[in-house]
Amino acid sequence: MTTRVLALFILSLWSMLVSADEKPIVGAIRWDAWTGGSITQQVERSLSPLKYQSRLPWFANIGKDGVVSIDGGDQTVMDQEIDYAADAGLDYWAFLLYPESSTMSTALGQYLGSSRRSKLRFCLILKNTLDLPEAAWLRERKRAIALLQEPGYQTVLGNRPLVYVFSSKGLPKRRLQEFIALARERELNPYYVFMGWHPAADVKKAIPLGFDAVSSYAKSNSSPAFVDLANSVKTQLWENAVNHKAPYIPLVTTGWDKRTRQDNPVSWEVDGDYHKQSVFPSKATPDEIASHLDEALQFVDQHRDICEANAVIIYAWNEYDEGGWLAPTRDAKGFPDKSRLEAIRQVLGERR
């Protein structure tokens, strides 16, 4: 056994021993299409039909004429959402990183500027910035590295910044290597997680490129019941990772129902396979989501050998029109429906 291999073995063993009594950290994905601009206008359309209005964000408005408007761009919205997430027991949000000039970055800026941000940590999901033209990529790469050094950035395994990477165009080999190199120059050692679709296949491609583990962003399903979707996550993702000894961060799903975008298509998914889908999982009850999360936490506890980061990622905080959310929705009387957060608080509160 070489010195390097021995050192890695000792580090891995130490990490497992240290984390054995620690509770898994639990995060949720943020897709921030709710603060204005052309994307907000499109999701307003997708959620405007009466049959979908129960999914509207808690800060949405329905006028007397029935017109839906969504404007989450006020700082008070972010401050309240931090309170909601922290009170429910979440540890971090995983922000999809968009260019700083994009309205899709408004929420991240509000989080960073919030006086309440110390209640909840954050990390990044590199996706959209990976596809930028070269000059823009250089700027955004520098910005992302700076964000890793922000107070409250989520770390794992001691002091390693947690970085997710999600790409629908294949593994971004060159740009990932550039990002890794720049992080090393800044004396950072991020924990890189590739969000794919099949742990056994993903790990074979991702680990040689510098990734430390694999996970998933979401899971589609055409079964009529949410429980079937949750079971497919467990068997096709969690158990697949165990069977192939893939370093893994488990996905927890809160739903998958894109009929909103079938009825009112969005510009960035005109050719999505779901447009031909006739059956989607039913809306999850708060108890179903809580039970699924509890199973994920047990999974991490039972499989520390592959779940070395001791973390869970939830789809999602606010993917309202895709059918996956934890954040409050607008109830029939215009008040925040916090039932999903209250349900997971029962699970997370018992473990803290």
199-252 tens-digit pLDDT: 999 999 999 999 999 999 999 999 999 999 999 999 999 999 999 999 999 999
Tokens standing for residue 128 = 């959209």
What confidence category does residue 16 fall into, taking pLDDT thresholds of 50, 70 and 90? Answer: very low
Which of 177-186, 264-273, 277-286, 331-340 shows the lowest mean pLDDT across its residues? 264-273
CA angle (298, 247, 182) in 5-degree steps:
125
> What CA–CA distance (Å, rounded) separates 171 from 204?
12
Mean pLDDT for the chain overall? 93
pLDDT at 7: 37
Average confidence (pLDDT) over 285-302: 98
pLDDT at 271: 85
Output 170 or 38, whichever has higher pLDDT: 38
pLDDT of residue 352: 58
The pLDDT value recorded for residue 21 is 58
| Backbone dihedral angles phi then psi of residue 343, each to the nearest 5 degrees | -70, -45
pLDDT at 139 over 90: yes
**Model confidence, pTM:** 0.93
The arithmetic mean of pLDDT across residues 195-200, rounded, is 96
Instruction: Indicate if the pLDDT at residue 17 is higher than 60.
Output: no
Quickly state the pLDDT bin for 15 (edges 50, 70, 90).
very low
Beta-carbon count within 10 A of 267 CB: 8
- Give 264's pLDDT tier (boundaries 50, 70, 90): very high
Average pLDDT over residues 262-273: 92
Residue 4 pLDDT: 36
Tell me the backbone φ, ψ of residue 196, rounded to 5 degrees: -115, -150
Q: Is the pLDDT at 12 greater than 80, yes or no?
A: no
Percent of the chain with pLDDT strictly greater than 90: 87
CA distance 26 to 105: 22
pLDDT for 351: 63
Interval 47-82: pLDDT, tens: 999 999 999 999 999 998 889 999 999 999 999 999
pLDDT value for 177: 94
